[in-house]
Amino acid sequence: MPRLAATAHPRRSRLAAAGGVLLLSTLGLSACGDDEGGSGSEQAAGLSSLEVSGDVGKAPEVTFDGQVNPDEIETEVLTEGDGETLEAGDGAFAHIWIGNGYTESEVYSTYETETPQLLNGEMSEPFKLAMEGHKVGSRVAVVSSAEDAFGESGNPQLGIGNKDGVVFVVDLMGKVIDEPAGEDREPAKWAPSLVESDGVITGLDFADANKPSKNLLDTTLIKGEGAVVEKGQTIAVNYLGQVYEAKKPFDESYSKDPTSFKIGVGAVVTGWDKTLVGKTVGSRVILSIPPADGYGPQGNEGAGIKGTDTLFFVVDILGTTS
């Protein structure tokens, strides 16, 4: 998730961001095990101490047969998917279950909220091994030390000490691409043009654009060839938002990382829900959103948006859950 002010984001409210908790922890030492090695058990083992059952996309049933604290990272494909193979550097949507190998208990899961985690950018070795070389639709189990998973301090936020073993069950739910790809389209005459610097979108130019309409409008710049976005799915996007004739954007993700959210269910402004459902992965679109489909008559003071402002967005649809 991008670290942006909640008032400037197209989401109606900030969603819980777990990525920092999962991929990196720089908090202080908090160990469940001892400091001299392992978790106080000479019989600690790896994947051989686990039994994982259940279907991909559903919460796994994980049974421990003793503590888990492997000497090195171990990986096993529990279910082989039939989707695209994820290569090094690819992003993906994944459902994630995490267990503490010392307490033999669940400490984190995405399954209850039915919202897969967007994994991209820098991530620790267990997550890389759970993704790279595996097909979308696969379930992969990984066990590692807390240090390999989260750094030398472990992850106190998840109740994982620096000497604990960690168990990951990862369901790969969809690939996320780096940039839009597909057929170039001529945009509608009402649309602003893109301002770019070194190939990165930095703003919108309204010099040749029409004055805002009271209607919700969208136009396609690139028609992607990927899956069709469906209501209720989680999608990954890059975006930039700018008020009509404003000199700079009020929000953007292009200088950071893509963001993700559920579409068509009220997690974002109405204009996004109405226009992005039915589009295809790989597409780049421009949206013109009147106040009624944006922040309403109250506007968004924190983002400098008045209740009469029309919002323009460029959105790249980079992935969706399968």
The string of pLDDT tens digits covering residues 226-240 is 999 999 999 999 999
Do both 187 and 163 map to the same domain? no
Domain count across the chain = 2
User: Pick from 174, 191, 216: which residue ends a domain?
Assistant: 174
Residues in the chain: 322
Do both 35 and 162 map to the same domain? yes
Domain containing 105 equals: 6-174
pLDDT (0 to 100) of residue 322: 72
Q: How far is CA 285 from CA 82, 199, 308, in A?
A: 30, 17, 23
pLDDT (0 to 100) of residue 10: 61
Do both 63 and 21 map to the same domain? yes
Domain assignment present for residue 279? The answer is yes
Q: How far is CA 17 from CA 175, 256, 261, in A?
A: 20, 15, 11
Instruction: Decide if pLDDT at 112 tops 50.
Output: yes
Do both 144 and 19 map to the same domain? yes
Do both 128 and 22 map to the same domain? yes
Q: Output the pTM of the full model.
A: 0.81
What burial class does residue 175 get, using C-beta atoms within 10 Å of its C-beta: 0-12 exposed, 13-18 middle, 19+ buried? buried
pLDDT (0 to 100) of residue 36: 40
Rounded CA-CA distance 141/159 in Å is 20
In contact, 74 and 169? CB cutoff 8 Å: no
User: Pick from 142, 174, 206: which residue ends a domain?
Assistant: 174
H or E element, residue 150: helix 146-150
Domain assignment present for residue 1? The answer is no
- How does residue 45 score in pLDDT terms, banded at 50, 70 and 90? confident
pLDDT (0 to 100) of residue 314: 98
Rounded CA-CA distance 165/105 in Å is 11
Sign of the Cα torsion 2, 6, 9, 12 reads positive
Domain assignment present for residue 213? The answer is yes
In contact, 204 and 194? CB cutoff 8 Å: yes
233-260 mean pLDDT: 95
Kindly state the tokens that stand for 192: 């602003």
Rounded CA-CA distance 238/313 in Å is 10
Chain-wide mean pLDDT for the chain? 87
User: Pick from 140, 174, 208: which residue ends a domain?
Assistant: 174
